[in-house]
Structure 1
Amino acid sequence: MQLNAGRITTHVLDTSKGVPAAGVRIELYVVKRSGDVESSRKVAESLTNTDGRLSAPLLREGMLEEGEYELRFHVDRYFAQEAQTELVHVLWTVVPIRFAVMDAVSHYHIPLLIAPGGYSTYRGS
């Protein structure tokens, strides 16, 4: 493995309340394909802090390689602890975001904007 300066970071915002989403468990997987067979291996796990961010990158400098990755945001527990009285049902349990790392020396910031009825993401800075 060649060492490099790339890293993966994220944060989570609850757009239904306009606040950071604290306590969201996030897992990072490396995805590999061999023909029609796909496998994934968990390489990192963390929890968002009170600012909806991680205390450290999921992959630090020197650990990022080109390839396919998947972030899994476990939002079900967040919504259960933050339940609103008018909130009857939350559709999302785990939000997967799969992305390609084409440049292993870059910073990949992949935020999640979550609400009980929808979510979105983008490549941040």
Structure 2
Amino acid sequence: MNGGLSIHCVDVASGRVAAGLRVAVQRLGPDGLPQGPLIAEGTVSGNGLLAHPALMSEAITAGGYEVRFEVGAFYRGQGAAVPDPAFLEVVPYRFHIADTAQHVHLPFKFTAWGFSLFRGGA
């Protein structure tokens, strides 16, 4: 059985989940760069998760992935005073999955000026 992938986003500057943050997931090619169609994309929901059916399906196989978080657009949409372009416009995160039976949880904690990304324990 496939363990899947979950992505949880929190705007730590406001202390709230990042509802409305745009996120995209794409596979990495042999050269380590994103290639092919997006596996999933959408906006983070009110519970802080990117709810996309592909993330908990057989679409998540062993290999490399890139997740892109559109931080600059998120803060502009919130009416925050960020420069254009923002200090963090798009945050890419590349990682690899070796064992597809294990669930991979990616907590993304961020502000307009910095972020933390790691494999969580969910």
TM tier, smaller: 0.7 to 0.9
Q: Distance in 1 between matches of 2:12 and 2:113?
A: 10
Q: Distance in 1 between matches of 2:104 and 2:43?
A: 18
Partner of residue 14, structure 1:
11
Q: Distance in 2 between matches of 1:38 and 1:63?
A: 18
Any gaps of 5 or more consecutive residues in structure 1? none
Q: How big is the shift at 1:17?
A: 1.1
Out of 101, 108, 121, the position equivalent to 2:104 is: 108
Q: CA RMSD in A?
A: 1.9
Partner of residue 40, structure 1:
35
Q: How big is the shift at 1:39?
A: 4.8
Q: Distance in 2 between matches of 1:77 and 1:50?
A: 17
Partner of residue 61, structure 2:
65
Q: How big is the shift at 1:116?
A: 1.1
Scaled by the length of structure 1, the TM-score of the pair is 0.83
Tell me, yes or no, if the aligned pair for 2:72 and 2:112 is still in contact at 8 Å: no
More helix by share: 2
Q: What fraction of aligned residue pairs are identical, expressed as a percent? A: 29
Q: Distance in 1 between matches of 2:64 and 2:18?
A: 26
Structure 1 SS opposite 2:75 = helix
Tell me, yes or no, if the aligned pair for 1:9 and 1:58 is still in contact at 8 Å: no
Q: Distance in 1 between matches of 2:44 and 2:34?
A: 26
Scaled by the length of structure 2, the TM-score of the pair is 0.85
Q: Which runs of 4+ in 1 moved over 2 A?
A: 54-58, 87-90
* Number of residue-to-residue matches in the alignment: 118
Q: How big is the shift at 1:63?
A: 2.4
Q: How big is the shift at 1:6?
A: 2.2
Partner of residue 24, structure 1:
21
